[in-house]
């Protein structure tokens, strides 16, 4: 999916598992824009998306992202790519619903 292609593989590999947290940049990780179209949040490069959009993703989908992540060893496996693509699509749909184009 195109949204996933905009995230550099290296940006998903920082930190020890990158489980839930405050989303602030950790030293050495840098920052980037949330990949959800229309979102202007700046997030840690270690995060998939901003906190607001992450919680628009249903918990079973969020759990699938973590289950396929496996502390970085599963990054960009077919299962992880599908889980991330699905989570990004869900968050983007929530963004469009919340802020429809004029």
**What pLDDT is stored for residue 28 in this prediction?**
53
Query: How far is residue 1's CA from residue 17's CA, in Å, rounded to a whole number?
Result: 23
Farthest CA pair distance, the chain: 42
69 CB neighbour count, 10 Å cutoff = 21
Does position 18 have pLDDT exceeding 70, yes or no? no
Q: Above pLDDT 90, what percent of the chain?
A: 39
- Please, how many CA atoms are within 13 Å of residue 48, restricted to the half-sphere of its CB? 30
Judged against a pLDDT cut of 80, whether residue 78 lies above it is answered with yes
Lowest mean pLDDT among 31-40, 43-52, 70-79: 70-79
Is 50 a residue whose pLDDT tops 60?
yes
**Chain position carrying tokens 């998939």:** 48
User: Is residue 32's pLDDT more than 70?
Assistant: yes
């Amino acid at each position: 999916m195109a949204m996933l292609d905009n995230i550099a593989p290296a940006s998903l590999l920082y930190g020890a598992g990158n489980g839930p947290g405050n989303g602030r940049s950790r030293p050495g990780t840098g920052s980037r824009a949330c990949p959800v179209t229309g979102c202007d949040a700046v997030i840690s490069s270690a995060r998939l998306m901003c906190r607001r959009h992450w919680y628009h993703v249903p918990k079973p989908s969020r759990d699938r992202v973590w289950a396929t992540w496996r502390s970085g060893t599963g990054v960009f496996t077919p299962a992880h790519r599908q889980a991330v693509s699905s989570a990004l699509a869900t968050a983007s749909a929530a963004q469009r619903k919340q802020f429809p184009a004029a």
